[in-house]
Amino acid sequence: MVKKWWMESVGYQIYPKSFKDSNNDGIGDLNGIYEKLDYLKDLGVNLIWICPFYDSPMDDNGYDVRNFFDVAKEFGTMDDVKKLILKAHEYGIKIILDFVLNHTSDEHPWFIESKSSKDNPYRDYYIWHEGTIVDGVKREPTNWGSFFGGSAWNYDETTESYYMKIFSNKMPDLNWSNEKVHQEMIDVANTWLDLGIDGFRIDAVSHLDRAPFEDTASNGEKYPLDWYKFSNLPKVHDYLKKLNKEVFSKRNCLTIGEVGGAASIEEGIKYASYESNELSMVFNFDHNWCNNMYDITNSKKLKVHVKDLKKVFNNWQEAFKDIGWLPLNWLNHDQPRLASHYGNYKYPLQSTKMLATALHMMRGTPFIYQGEEIGMTNYPFEDVSEFNDISSKANYHYHLEKEPDNPVKAIKKAGLRSRDNARTPMQWTNESPYAGFSDTKPWLAVNPNYKKINVEKNLNDPNSLFHHYQKLIELRTKSIYKDVIVYGSYKIIDLEHEELYIYLRKNKDHTLLIINSFSQKKVKYSLSNYEILDQLISNYPKTTLKNDDIVLKPFESIVFKVKEKL
Ligand code: GLC
Ligand code: CA
């Protein structure tokens, strides 16, 4: 059996800009993370993933890197990073950083050189094209759309050429068919590993290879977003095998690739099976689309597609069971808040505890996104001026263009999935007006529900969501069930059940039965196949067992130690 340190970890993702502001300039920072390491230790996590804090003009909050070897001044200094690594390691907490290798900022010295002339030595660090002439008029080389709206190309007057950029204009794509780029990025990775970090979450990694530059089919849109033109193409695997051979395999480091929405399970296996020699695991997003959030404008009518959700989790669990490892996460800094996405507004505490249990008892490495452990929710956006995120603004304008008379609908639509939902400042206390995040008006507004939802309140309430997460983490990292939760087999029960997600985890010592109800009503379920030996965790004070049946209350979730009856 393959065993690695990260398989026994529980991760926590930090978006530094929103976590904790230590010097009251309204922006979260590295010293803020340092201050809160005790909190993370208390929660019990032993791995943190910190989103980019490198020097950047912040067009995309740091994913647009200007200098890979320095820290953005609003986040702190190199010494702050070293101090943070040291203390985290003292606490038994490992650290992984975002490795952004698909693009740089347009203010990166390589790009400034690259755009200056066609024969500059850095020209081939990026993807340049003269453009296409259509009816005597010069236009973009292809009609491909970018993730943040508009074309995947941007025109630069200096050399009268287009450069490729699948995110924003200020994020030119690196040219991975140039081997010099490989060496540069190998240096970046080695430098941070030498500093003592424990691995990387690798940003946008599936996009490093591009299809031939030909137009894609359009259903009327000027710049259709066709993922297949720049996702999971063959050479990505060559590049990753090289990075693995020259860097990752020489260190005992964890690498998690963000493989985006277009990666199927088969693709996932190519990146992250034990035999692929590429990445330790990949984040996929299949479970993020299992409700009707795209079709509605009122969050109260949200409907979770339970069976779809179960199938997604089950398919990945099954496919990787003998051949690889998976991260387990509900959301990240690009997704809506869990409480608003899959939680239930009538049963916020029970439903979020249930969702936590359902995920944390699976096989894989759980990742909690900051604020998830206290039940933070989406923000009630009412005006486009409340958005900071570049893609939320673009989305708003996209919807408004379709229905120019309906700005309210446009804001609702863009608001529901806005990445800013996950980026509002962490709610530490009920202190007015900035929830203990800062004394100064933060860069993004605090969610007005901070008096009801905050860390302090969670810490003071033994029945809180925080304490539920703490217990789940303890079960996985310290309890006598540690081995079965980490390395045990996984098997779904009743795949077709409309409301219950039930699975078994098993090793030679223990069998655990995990039952999760996604229903607002009571659901009866027969346990006649099991002898119940113990109860590990649940989200109600009392379990209702009647003869061989369990009667589950709304969103009830329970983990039993059982013996299967033959
Ligand atoms: C990834 C990040 C996202 C960022 C994008 C470009 O998808 O998660 O936040 O905007 O890459 O770097
Ligand atoms: Ca600050």
Mean predicted confidence (pLDDT) in 509-520: 98
* pLDDT at residue 301 in the model: 74
Given a cut of 80, is residue 262 above it in pLDDT?
A: no
* pLDDT at residue 199 in the model: 98
What does pLDDT average to over the chain?
96
* pLDDT at residue 162 in the model: 98
| Confidence tier at 298 by pLDDT (50, 70, 90) | low
Given a cut of 70, is residue 245 above it in pLDDT?
A: yes
Q: Which domains does the chain have, with CATH numbers?
A: 5-101+179-215+254-379+425-469 (3.20.20.80), 109-164 (3.90.400.10), 488-564 (2.60.40.1180)
> pTM for this structure?
0.97
Given a cut of 60, is residue 299 above it in pLDDT?
A: no
If we measure between CA atoms, which residue out of 366, 375, 281, 376 comes closest to residue 330? Answer: 366
Mean predicted confidence (pLDDT) in 303-331: 97
Q: Give how far the C-alpha of residue 21 lies from the chain's centroid of Cα atoms, to the nearest Å.
A: 22
Give the position of tokens 């996702």. 231
* pLDDT at residue 296 in the model: 74
The protein residue whose alpha carbon is closest to atom 11 in ligand 1 is 204
Which tokens go with 199? 């691995």
Q: Kindly report which listed range (85-99, 257-271, 288-302, 369-383) carries the lowest average pLDDT score.
A: 288-302
Cβ proximity of 293 and 262 under 8 Å: no
Mean predicted confidence (pLDDT) in 254-276: 92
The percent of residues above 70 in pLDDT, for the chain, comes to 99
* pLDDT at residue 300 in the model: 58
Q: Which of 203, 258, 367 to mutate to test the pocket of ligand 1 (most atoms within 8 A of CB)?
A: 203
In 224-358, beta strands by DSSP E? 254-258, 281-283, 327-329
* pLDDT at residue 371 in the model: 98
Cα 31 to ligand 2 centre (Å): 8
Mean predicted confidence (pLDDT) in 255-271: 90
The protein residue whose alpha carbon is closest to atom 4 in ligand 1 is 63
Given a cut of 80, is residue 266 above it in pLDDT?
A: yes
Measured from CB, residues less than 6 Å from any atom of ligand 1 are: 60, 63, 100, 167, 203-204, 258, 333-334
Q: Which of 56, 100, 167 to mutate to test the pocket of ligand 1 (most atoms within 8 A of CB)?
A: 167
Cα 16 to ligand 2 centre (Å): 10
Find residue 156's DSSP bridge partners. 161
∠ CA 424-429-432, nearest 5°, is 80
Given a cut of 70, is residue 463 above it in pLDDT?
A: yes
Q: Which residues are catalytic?
A: 203, 258
Given a cut of 80, is residue 5 above it in pLDDT?
A: yes
| Confidence tier at 197 by pLDDT (50, 70, 90) | very high
* Separation in Å, CA 310 to CA 286, 512, 516: 11, 18, 11
Given a cut of 90, is residue 222 above it in pLDDT?
A: yes
Closest listed ligand to the CA of 174: 1
Given a cut of 70, is residue 241 above it in pLDDT?
A: yes
274 contact partners, CB below 8 Å, separation of at least 6: 2, 323, 324, 325
If we measure between CA atoms, which residue out of 51, 29, 14 comes closest to residue 370? Answer: 14
Q: What is the pLDDT of residues 110-149, one digit of tens each?
A: 999 999 999 999 999 999 999 999 999 999 999 999 999 9
Cα 26 to ligand 2 centre (Å): 6
Which tokens go with 43? 């929660």
* pLDDT at residue 263 in the model: 75
* Separation in Å, CA 543 to CA 90, 179, 192, 346, 505: 40, 61, 49, 20, 21
Cα 19 to ligand 2 centre (Å): 10
If we measure between CA atoms, which residue out of 425, 427, 421 comes closest to residue 339? Answer: 421
| Confidence tier at 261 by pLDDT (50, 70, 90) | low
If we measure between CA atoms, which residue out of 270, 266, 264, 279 comes closest to residue 227? Answer: 264
* pLDDT at residue 302 in the model: 83
Mean predicted confidence (pLDDT) in 267-287: 97
If we measure between CA atoms, which residue out of 562, 488, 509 comes closest to residue 532? Answer: 562
Q: What is the pLDDT of residues 151-160, one digit of tens each?
A: 999 999 999 9
Q: How much of the chain is in helix, strand and coil states, percent to nearest 5?
A: 35, 20, 45
Q: What is the pLDDT of residues 390-444, one digit of tens each?
A: 999 999 999 999 999 999 999 999 999 999 999 999 999 999 999 999 999 999 9
